[in-house]
Amino acid sequence: MASVTITVNGTPQTREIETRVLLVHFLRDTLGLTGTHVGCDTSQCGACTVTLDGMAVKSCSLFAVQADGRSVGTIEGVAKEGKLNAMQEGFWQEHGLQCGFCTPGMIMAACALIERNPKPTDHEVRVGLEGNMCRCTGYTNIVKAVQTAAAATAAGKR
């Protein structure tokens, strides 16, 4: 067992956990933040994507203890005061989700993507999201959603 303090969506959380607990299980089971999903066991699907100190990471590939003292962002922290952010709006507008299971991870990855590259080409969006699988959308509308969000962010709409 180990004591960890992880700042999650801005709030420091201190817990006693088994050292083998994965970050994704810490978020889902210990903190009840079930928006972060688990879709695979080989670090391929990206459903578990969160941000760690602002970088998109796969939370199934980290132990919670590795996030000790650091700051984690999950889908639950993206909308501020009930207002969706540009990426969430983009996904809604462009129908970038169907079953919605990949969506939280996809949004976390896409937010990090446009932060890195505010004006991506379609191809750059596709390459940038290659760590996130979606079986429903065929990605066509996900690319549109990211572009819509990038444009809205650039225009300073939000």
Partner 1 sequence: MSETFFGKSVKRREDARLLTGKGAFVDDLKIPFTTHAAFVRSPHAHAKINKIDLTAAKAMKGVIAIYTGKDLKDSGVKPIPVGWLLPGIKVPAHYPLAVDKVRHMGDAVALVIAETVYIARDAAELVEVDYQVLPALSDGAEALKKGAPTVHDEAPDNVCFRWALGDKAATDKAFTTAHKIVKQSFRNHRLIPNAIEPRACLASANAGTGETTLWVTSQNPHVHRLIMAAFVLGIPEHKLRVISQDVGGGFGSKIFIYPEECAVTWASRALSRPIKWTSDRREAFLTDAHGRDHHTEAEIALSAEGNFLGLRVKTVANLGAYLTLFAPAVPTYLYGTLLTGTYKTPAIHVDVTGVFTHTTPVDAYRGAGRPEATYLIERLVDLSAKALGMDPLEIRRKNLLTSDQFPYQTPVALLYDSGNYQGALDKALTMFDYPGFRKEQAAARKEGRYLGVGFSTYVEACGLAPSQVAGALGAQAGLYESATVRVHPTGKVTVFTGSHSHGQGHETTFAQVAADELQVPMEDVEIVHGDTGIVPFGMGSYGSRSGPVGTAAIHMGAQKIKEKAKKIAAHLLEANEKDVVYEGGKFFVKGTPGVSKSFFDVSLMAYLAHNLPKGLEPGLEAISFFDPGNFVFPFGTHICMVEVERSTGVVKVLRYVAVDDLGRVINPMIVDGMVHGGILQGVSQALYEHAEYDENAQLITGSMMNYVVPKADDFIGVELARTETPTPVNPLGIKGAGETGTIASTPAVANAVMDALSPFGIQHIDMPLTPGRIWEALRGRKEA
Interacting residues with partner 1 (CB under 8 A): 18, 20, 28, 32-42, 44-45, 47, 74-76, 78-79, 84, 88, 91-93, 95, 97-104, 107, 122-123, 125-127, 129-143
* Residue number, 69 or 115, with CB nearest to partner 1: 115
Q: Within 10 A of 7 (CB to CB), how many other CB atoms are there?
A: 15
Q: Within 10 A of 42 (CB to CB), how many other CB atoms are there?
A: 7
Q: Which helix (H) or strand (E) holds 11?
A: strand 11-17
Tell me which of ligand FES, partner 1, none is bound by residue 60, counting a contact when its beta carbon lies within the kind-specific cut-off of 5 to 8 angstroms: ligand FES
Least separation in angstroms between residue 58's CB and ligand FES is 4
Tell me which of partner 1, ligand FES, none is bound by residue 31, counting a contact when its beta carbon lies within the kind-specific cut-off of 5 to 8 angstroms: none
Cα distance between residue 62 and residue 22, in whole Å: 6
Least separation in angstroms between residue 41's CB and ligand FES is 7
Q: Pick out residues in 58-117 that bind ligand FES (CB under 6 A).
A: 58, 60, 97-103
Cα distance between residue 109 and residue 90, in whole Å: 14
Least separation in angstroms between residue 24's CB and ligand FES is 7
Q: Which helix (H) or strand (E) holds 49?
A: strand 49-52
Specify the pairing of strand 2-8 against strand 71-73: parallel
The structure tokens listed for 88 are 């969430």
Tell me which of partner 1, ligand FES, none is bound by residue 58, counting a contact when its beta carbon lies within the kind-specific cut-off of 5 to 8 angstroms: ligand FES
Least separation in angstroms between residue 40's CB and ligand FES is 3
Give percent helix, percent strand, percent coil of the chain, each to the nearest 5.
40, 20, 40
Residues that bind ligand FES (CB under 6 A): 38-40, 43-48, 58, 60, 97-103, 134-137
